[in-house]
A and B are shown apart, each in its own frame.
Chain A
């Protein structure tokens, strides 16, 4: 099905899921080379692993700032045939403009390089269900062809929405290349570090008064597995990826055995800003919308195309996260 020699490029390997994907691909004998790029070297596996000396195995790390045109040289030099674009940042590590530049300009540079390349024949992009936005008049369940009722106009959702636009443009210009866009629900798992996991690790949790959003999670193991499958076989199209079922925020809080304080929406926003200033959490307006109205997607198309469903349901993924959280 696939050519004998395979060279895979993974962007964003300094962070957890990217690093895990790179090491899984490196362990596959069918793949000859795995090249990981990021602005900083990967640390997330060595940080708490300890026992493993070289957990990334034969992954070759190249320090590249995606916002520069250097990525084109990496792609040209290595005869890369598969690109897995993972480096979308969900929360601003530094400032919001830097995050936007990293996400949007980084993707543009990467796709520009892929468009020039003669060897790239498969592009997998990590996106998010945040592209559907979150509003009280949303349909209860989003499918891949749903238009957002309110187009996300801030933060991660907006970036991902724009990134997907560039991916569609690329797919139109290079119909010979298989492009797969995976819209992930919120990642959760023992080692996931996201605004939402930081929220659930806080000792006392504010909630938005009068709202009990429906949430969905995808376990990190399933996230890595679906990315691996997309990198190894042709699955053209856009796919939602979420664990089966939903949890209400109130259920999550009860399962987590945490205290929560319902606060009016403006106060919640204020607390979010405060937490953000302290560098503790990131509650951008799109997070506030999610914590008010929630969001649910249908992953049926993924199951049909990949012949695979996430091993963890939304509830079991959350429970797995809680179990490891308590032993930390």
Chain B
């Protein structure tokens, strides 16, 4: 942005004359401010590389990714990757815990996230948006270091049902690198329960070094988008058939697990010395 653009941008923001969509997504704030803040982390800290961007269909699709790293940094990096490398705004479905929190809940809406529920997923997919989901949820992001790169159960397959109803392809997405940013070697169970959190991790740096422990380790990241899995071959009426949904869920899960294994080998060690 040059000085003039910056001035009109500031004037527009101060006067409130900008668009926010019905989900609360503030595209301008997201592109010009939030992603800008995340970019150094993406480029220089994690040195993220993307593979298989051509697998993203031009229209609406559901990107299904593995979830790890204690804090949802992988979601934010996926967002930067899709914005910067593919020019796509991804609409992520988030846990209701995030939406219950002051500040974070509304900030996450402004960056285009919404609640992971059937209504919101269906509505976004119907509008032809690129929707991102992490079906492992807290089981994935909060798993211990010993379980790294082992996909957890994929919820109840609600995301597959949504894709079937909308007739959009599912793009399996494998993220390698997020597992190493905060290696979770233990858990503080009682404080977590008192704070109403799903877990409070012990990592090599946290809580020993206080806020410094929140600095993620600089692991090398790879994000791969796999070949789309068609869901439009299934009759939308079968979105309620648990058998059909489970089968497709398993297929997506196995695809991601396979590609995670290959991607890990390709990357080599997480930290360059």
Contacts and interface: CB of A to CB of B under 8 A. Distances in A.
A293 to B, nearest CB: 9
B123 A141 contact: yes
Interface string B18-43: 11111110100000000000000000
Contact of B102 (A137, A211, A248): A211
B102 A140 contact: no
Contacts of A251: 16, 18, 20
A141 B117 contact: no
A253 B14 CA distance: 10
B72 interface: no
A246 B13 CA distance: 16
Given A139-B120, A253-B16, A214 B103 contact: no
Given A136-B99, A246-B21, A251-B20, A211 B106 contact: yes
B96 interface: yes
A255 B119 contact: no
A214 B26 CA distance: 11
Contacts of A143: 119
Contacts of A212: 24, 106, 110
Contact of B16 (A138, A141, A211, A254): A254
Contacts of A296: 22
- The binding surface of chain A is classed by DSSP as loop
Give 8 closest A-B pairs by Cβ, nearest first: A210-B102, A254-B16, A139-B119, A251-B16, A255-B16, A210-B103, A212-B106, A140-B23
Contacts of A294: 24
Given A210-B106, A254-B14, A137 B24 contact: no
Interface residues of A, number: 26
A137 B120 CA distance: 11
Contact of A248 (B20, B99, B120): B20
B22 A209 contact: no
A146 B16 contact: no
A252 interface: yes
A250 interface: yes
B22 A141 contact: yes
A245 interface: yes
A35 interface: no
Given A136-B99, A254-B14, A255-B17, A141 B119 contact: yes
B100 to A, nearest CB: 5
A188 to B, nearest CB: 15
12 contacts: A137-B96, A137-B115, A137-B117, A141-B22, A210-B103, A211-B106, A212-B106, A212-B110, A245-B22, A246-B20, A247-B16, A254-B14
B105 interface: yes
B8 interface: no
Contacts of A210: 101-103, 105-106
Interface in B59-104: 96, 99-103
Of A140, A141, A245, A248, chain B has the most CB atoms within 10 Å of the CB of: A140
Contacts of B117: 137, 139
Interface string B100-129: 111101100110001101011001000000
Nearest to B16: A254
Interface string A143-186: 10010000000000000000000000000000000000000000
Interface in B206-251: none
A76 to B, nearest CB: 45
A248 B23 CA distance: 10
Interface string A252-271: 11110000000000000000
B100 A146 contact: no
